[in-house]
């Protein structure tokens, strides 16, 4: 059985959904970010980065959402969470998810956790002020250039959909009106109606 470390209202929601979609046997362990549990020695001995998610797998510890999502899709191929038999299509999925991880998530973090990049309160405030603009630009790119429909990569559901849904749930908190992006908004609504997504959100 896997052990999965997560925190509510964080990016770990994506890996949590993927585990359920794959039908994996796992134990979900909540990490309380509000009390800085992720900075305690016990947790740092598992993940020195002090972040979530973490997946304790038979071969060792995996960190970073994207790595965990890819691992789940490869370990449970019957779940069809990635086009494993098509190298180019798989690379396209990875390209989209990398954009979410390296660009969109970072744009969000500048608003929510600006203290990671600056100590000056004015600089932190400025990063937060700019977040609606930067997140809006990211989702404009997704809406008009990257989203194929009906799912992110076209006809087939994949880890791209799970990851996009997770980050799209942050739009309102980032000061962005999701109605600006009809395709992404409809996708988020559809994901919210999925029984597995509902189950994971309720569990968290």
pLDDT for 110-152, tens place per residue? 999 999 999 999 999 999 999 999 999 999 999 999 999 999 9
CB distance 46 to 54 below 8 Å: yes
Same domain? 72 vs 19:
yes
Q: Where are the alpha helices (DSSP H) in 11-158?
A: 12-22, 41-44, 65-75, 87-99, 105-112, 121-141
Range of the domain at 69: 2-80
Same domain? 23 vs 111:
no
What's the pLDDT score for residue 27? Answer: 98
| Total Cβ atoms within 10 A of residue 32 | 12
CB within 8 Å of 160: residues ≥ 6 apart: 93, 96, 97, 151, 152, 153
Same domain? 183 vs 95:
yes
- How many Å apart are CA 132 and CA 118, to the nearest integer? 19
Same domain? 64 vs 92:
no
Intervals of the chain under pLDDT 50: none
Residue 202 lies in a domain: no
What's the pLDDT score for residue 191? Answer: 98
Tokens of 75: 């370990």
Cis status of the peptide bond prior to 72, with omega within 30 of 0:
no
Cis status of the peptide bond prior to 22, with omega within 30 of 0:
no
CB within 8 Å of 24: residues ≥ 6 apart: 2, 72, 75, 76
pTM of the model: 0.96
Which of 20, 51, 80 delimits the end of a domain? Answer: 80
Same domain? 121 vs 159:
yes
Same domain? 97 vs 189:
yes
Which of 41, 64, 80 delimits the end of a domain? Answer: 80
- How many Å apart are CA 66 and CA 8, to the nearest integer? 18
Tokens of 42: 């016990």
What's the pLDDT score for residue 30? Answer: 98
- CB environment 131-165: b (16+ within 10 A), e (fewer): bbebbbebbeebbeebbeeebbbeebbbbbbbbbb
Q: Which is it for strands 60-63 and 26-30: parallel, antiparallel or unpaired?
A: unpaired
What's the pLDDT score for residue 139? Answer: 98
Overall number of domains in the chain: 2
Chain centre to alpha carbon of residue 146: 17
């Amino acid at each position: 059985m896997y052990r999965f470390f997560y925190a509510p209202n964080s990016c770990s929601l994506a890996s949590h959904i993927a585990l359920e979609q794959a039908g994996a046997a796992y134990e979900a362990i909540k990490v309380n970010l509000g009390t800085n549990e992720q900075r305690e020695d016990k947790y740092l001995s598992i993940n020195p980065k002090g972040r979530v998610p973490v997946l304790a797998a038979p071969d060792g510890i995996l960190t970073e959402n994207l790595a965990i999502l890819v691992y789940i899709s490869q370990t449970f191929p019957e779940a069809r969470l990635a086009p494993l038999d098509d190298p180019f299509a798989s690379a396209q999925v990875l390209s989209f998810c990398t954009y979410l991880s390296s660009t969109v998530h970072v744009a969000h973090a500048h608003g929510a956790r600006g203290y990671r990049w600056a100590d000056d309160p004015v600089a932190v405030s400025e990063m937060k002020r700019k977040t609606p603009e930067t997140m809006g630009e990211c989702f404009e790119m997704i809406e008009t250039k990257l989203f194929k429909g009906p799912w992110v990569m076209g006809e087939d559901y994949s880890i791209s959909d799970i990851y996009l849904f997770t980050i799209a749930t942050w739009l309102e908190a980032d000061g962005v009106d999701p109605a600006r992006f009809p395709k992404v908004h409809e996708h988020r609504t559809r994901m919210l109606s999925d029984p597995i997504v509902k189950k994971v959100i309720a569990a968290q």
